[in-house]
Each structure stands twice: as structure tokens, then as C-alpha cells.
Amino acid sequence: MFVHALRAFLHKHLLRSARPLNSSVSENIENERIMKHQIKYEKYIKEHGVGSNDRVADSVASYISYLKSVERYLNIEISPDTLKCENDLDLITSKLSGKVSENTIRNYVSAMRHYISMVEQRGL
């Protein structure tokens, strides 16, 4: 009984993820992998004001999480090859429709537009 309580506590307070406690190491590594140009993206969105007024939530982390969620839902890698223009955004958005709520898609679109802008401005 103690083990179950400890696992529940660790899951709730430390892991803070949707992955199950018994997931494999390879699944955990996959969930934590860095998307293509993630460090550049983080720097870019900070330079463009994302998170500058945060007092509670971390908008930069949210944007990264949104893009990683898109990768997981659609089994794609967010990169300049898959997300470089509005047409790519429209295609991805249409594939997400019905899988996640419209409010969630709006959040994802905001993060994806910043990614497209970075790709265009940085010539990636």
C-alpha cells in the first residue's frame, strides 16, 4: 500500500506529465526530446515578447509544449521542412481538427505562427 501511495505522490507532484509511471525509458526520452531548432525558437519568441508579462504561467514553456503536442498528435517532427508557411499551418491545423478542441488548436496555431516567422526571418 505504501508503494502505491508513494507512486501516486511522485506522479502528482514531481513528474507532472501525462505519461504513465510504468512507461519505458525510451518513451520518457522520446517525450523529452528537443524539437528541431528548439533553442533558436525559445530565443526568438522571448525576443518577440512572449512571456515578457508572465507572472504565473510560463508562456515560453507553453509554446514549446504546444509544438511538441502537435508532433505527438500527428506523429511528425516540427521543422522548417514541415512548418515553413501558412499552407503548412493550414494542413497541420486541418489534421488536428477533431483530435483536440478548437481552443487548443488556437493555442497551437499561435505557437506555430511564431515558428513560421522564425523560419522566415532566420532563413532556416
> Residues 57-70: pLDDT tens digits?
688 889 999 999 99
How confident is residue 31, by pLDDT bands cut at 50, 70 and 90? Answer: very low
- Between 23 and 98, name the one with better pLDDT: 98
pLDDT score at 25: 35
Percentage of residues in the chain having pLDDT higher than 90: 47
Residue 97 phi, psi (nearest 5): -60, 130
Over 50: is that where the pLDDT of 20 sits? no
Q: Is the pTM of this model over 0.85?
A: no
Looking at residue 29, its amino acid is: I
Four-residue CA torsion sign, 39, 43, 37, 27: positive
Q: Which helix (H) or strand (E) holds 43?
A: helix 38-47
